[in-house]
Structure 1
Amino acid sequence: MTALGLTGGVLQAVLVTAGAPVLTGVMRQVRAKLEGRSGQGIGQPWRDLRKQLRKEAIAPDGTSELFRLAPLVLLATTFTAAVAVPFVTTASAARPVADLFAVVALLAMGTATLALAALDTGTAFGGMGASREMTILALVEPTLLVSVFALSVRAGSTNLAAIVAATVHDPVRVISPASLLAAVALGVVTIAETGRIPVDNPATHLELTMVHEAMILEYAGPDLALIELASSMRLVVFLGLLSSLFLPWGIATALTPLAVAGGIGAFAAKVTVLGAALAAGEVFMAKIRLFRVPELLAGSFLLAILAVASSYFLAGPNP
């Protein structure tokens, strides 16, 4: 662990945790303005979390400790990924955890644990939501692995810090066919993993259409607050991953106050712009039918495969 990586890890922990609800508020405000509404303000998600944290923690009868631990596991895995992935600096605070396969495993662990907790309630909605979530997860995780692996071919490593550093030193590779294909595939993955339109609608409570909301219907109080915070943090992590891998400009490469400040500002600006663009796009799109979701994810997986093929056959691996 280097001083640059440690500084970046501490700053990222604060930025992702404190800024995730703010990003959610910005996205809601963007949607409200485009739909002709005034909106509740960008600070409303933080006010909602504060209200939930003040309530009493309750759990349905018959549930096990898994139901109670699932929010903590989801938050812990997301927090670890937020610290390990290089967002502010090119160095990682936990280089072994910053490996592609480790980060994907961490994010999948949180999702799988929440799905098991939904099954633990024994309700119809919990089982339905868990089944849908695991179906999406099984289709999304291979795409995530393959799309980032396409970038690792040129970098010669699956470590995300190494991939980001290689892109910073050779920015031309950002416009290569492999990078463009992988960026589109990772964008679809971000939409699916974070439950956004057209895969899922985070604002709906219709029983026949909801996915993520169906798994957390039995949660309330502090447990629900942890889940909502972790969900917002996952969105920041995926948008940050997209920006660091494909738009690494501004990321700090040296431990100087100016470079670190620039890295913080660049990370916040890029994630905010991507989040606002995602929210704006949702206004003009409708949620697709559940049975059409595999077609969308299969298309993103095909793009990821083409990205890997382009890395090998067009550019070739590093000698």
Structure 2
Amino acid sequence: MSGPGVAAVAAQVAVVTAGAPLLAGLMRQVRARLEGRAGAGIAQPWRDLRKLLRKEPVTPVGTGPAFRAAPALLVATTAVTAALVPFLSTDTPVGRNADVILVVALLALGTVALALAGLDSGTAFGGMGASREMTIAALVEPTILLAVFALSIPARSTNLPAIVAGAVEQPARLASPAGLLATAALAVAVLAETGRLPVDNPATHLELTMVHEAMVLEYAGPDLALVELGAQMRLTVLLGLLTSVFAPWGIATGPSWAALAVALAVFVAKTALLGAALAAGEVFWAKLRLFRVPELLAGSFLLALLAVTASYFLSGE
């Protein structure tokens, strides 16, 4: 257990937790500028969270433990995922446990917790949002697994640090047909998992189209602050996973303080750039009809399956 490795894990959790609202604010600001508006500023999500935390907690009558535990569980599972994924270094104390199956399971646990909370609220919108969320999750989680599996075949391991270290040593893997197909599949899965356009619109409260917002309509005060923070952290973690697996340049592969500092700066820059690009693309995208979303996600699953097949044949297994 090295000092830089422990510091890398702590820095990953701290940067994701503190930086997630800033990333959300950056994306909102980019959209506002492209739409001809001034925008509220990059720090506005943090001000919103502070305002919500100061309010009195309110729990709807008739809700059970699933509704009350979901916000904390969402933040906790995302924080653990942020500690496992090698954003800054592949040489960490938790690197052995950073299996892609465990990471996807933690993300799925947060999704299931919110869906159960939507059902526990007893409202029509909560049940509708939970049903839609689980339909999307049933297609998204296998896609994330297969997309990363495409790179795990040449690495001969499903351990994320091993996959990232192999990609750093042999960057040609990322430019192969398997790497390009897996990148496209994971990009679509990230859009769906985080509730972004064209799958869901995070800026609307239109009852007939919302998915994520329908599950959390009954939350208020500190519970709503945790839900919002958890959603922002999930977006940061998934964008970071995309950059770490398919653009691993700058990630430290040894116990070096200098390499860790460079990795921190590169991670922030890559995630911010990808978030800004996503926000810019959303200005020109229209939301898909709900019944067309499974077609998009099935297409991304097919791309991930093709990536695994191509990786298998190209690796000569």
> Into which bin does the TM-score normalised by the smaller protein fall?
over 0.9
SS at match of 2:73: helix
Partner of 1:15: 15
The alignment status of 1:61 with 2:89, answered yes or no, reads no
Quote how far apart the aligned CAs of 1:172 are: 1.4
SS at match of 1:58: coil
Q: How does 1:197-216 map to 2 (within 5 A)?
A: 197-216=197-216
Quote how far apart the aligned CAs of 1:256 are: 2.5
Partner of 2:219: 219
Supply the distance in 2 between the matched residues of 1:96 and 1:253 (Cα, whole angstroms): 14
Supply the distance in 2 between the matched residues of 1:92 and 1:75 (Cα, whole angstroms): 22
Amino acid at match of 1:139: L
Q: Which runs of 5+ in 1 are unaligned?
A: none
Superposed CA deviations along residues 79-117 of structure 1, whole A, max 9, x for unmatched, are: 000011000112244234310100000000010011001
Supply the distance in 2 between the matched residues of 1:73 and 1:299 (Cα, whole angstroms): 31
Quote how far apart the aligned CAs of 1:254 are: 2.6
Q: How does 1:207-286 map to 2 (within 5 A)?
A: 207-286=207-286
* 1:70 and 1:117 in contact (8 A); partners too: yes
* 1:9 and 1:92 in contact (8 A); partners too: yes
* 1:57 and 1:222 in contact (8 A); partners too: yes
Supply the distance in 2 between the matched residues of 1:294 and 1:97 (Cα, whole angstroms): 32
Superposed CA deviations along residues 259-299 of structure 1, whole A, max 9, x for unmatched, are: 11100001000000000000000000000000000000000
Partner of 2:315: 315
Partner of 2:184: 184
| Structure 1 moving runs of 4+ over 6 Å | none
Partner of 2:52: 52
Return the TM-score normalized by structure 1.
0.97
Amino acid at match of 2:17: T
SS at match of 1:209: coil
Supply the distance in 2 between the matched residues of 1:26 and 1:93 (Cα, whole angstroms): 32
* 1:85 and 1:92 in contact (8 A); partners too: no
Q: How does 1:88-167 map to 2 (within 5 A)?
A: 88-167=88-167
Quote how far apart the aligned CAs of 1:184 are: 0.3
Return the TM-score normalized by structure 2.
0.98
* 2:2 and 2:255 in contact (8 A); partners too: no
* 1:239 and 1:275 in contact (8 A); partners too: yes
Superposed CA deviations along residues 41-62 of structure 1, whole A, max 9, x for unmatched, are: 0000000000000001110001
Supply the distance in 1 between the matched residues of 2:57 and 2:286 (Cα, whole angstroms): 35
Partner of 2:170: 170
Supply the distance in 1 between the matched residues of 2:124 and 2:92 (Cα, whole angstroms): 42
Supply the distance in 2 between the matched residues of 1:3 and 1:178 (Cα, whole angstroms): 36
* 1:8 and 1:93 in contact (8 A); partners too: no
Quote how far apart the aligned CAs of 1:66 are: 1.4
Supply the distance in 2 between the matched residues of 1:166 and 1:225 (Cα, whole angstroms): 39
SS at match of 2:172: helix
Identical residues among aligned pairs (%)? 66
Partner of 1:26: 26
Supply the distance in 1 between the matched residues of 2:273 and 2:219 (Cα, whole angstroms): 31
Alignment size in residue pairs: 317
* 2:153 and 2:315 in contact (8 A); partners too: no
* 1:84 and 1:93 in contact (8 A); partners too: no
Supply the distance in 1 between the matched residues of 2:316 and 2:220 (Cα, whole angstroms): 52
Moved more, 165-174 or 267-276: 165-174
Quote how far apart the aligned CAs of 1:2 are: 4.5
Partner of 2:302: 302
Amino acid at match of 1:263: A
Quote how far apart the aligned CAs of 1:6 are: 1.7
Partner of 1:87: 87
Supply the distance in 2 between the matched residues of 1:91 and 1:155 (Cα, whole angstroms): 16
Supply the distance in 2 between the matched residues of 1:199 and 1:92 (Cα, whole angstroms): 35
Amino acid at match of 2:29: Q
* 2:91 and 2:255 in contact (8 A); partners too: no
* 2:77 and 2:106 in contact (8 A); partners too: yes
Supply the distance in 2 between the matched residues of 1:105 and 1:42 (Cα, whole angstroms): 31
Amino acid at match of 1:309: T
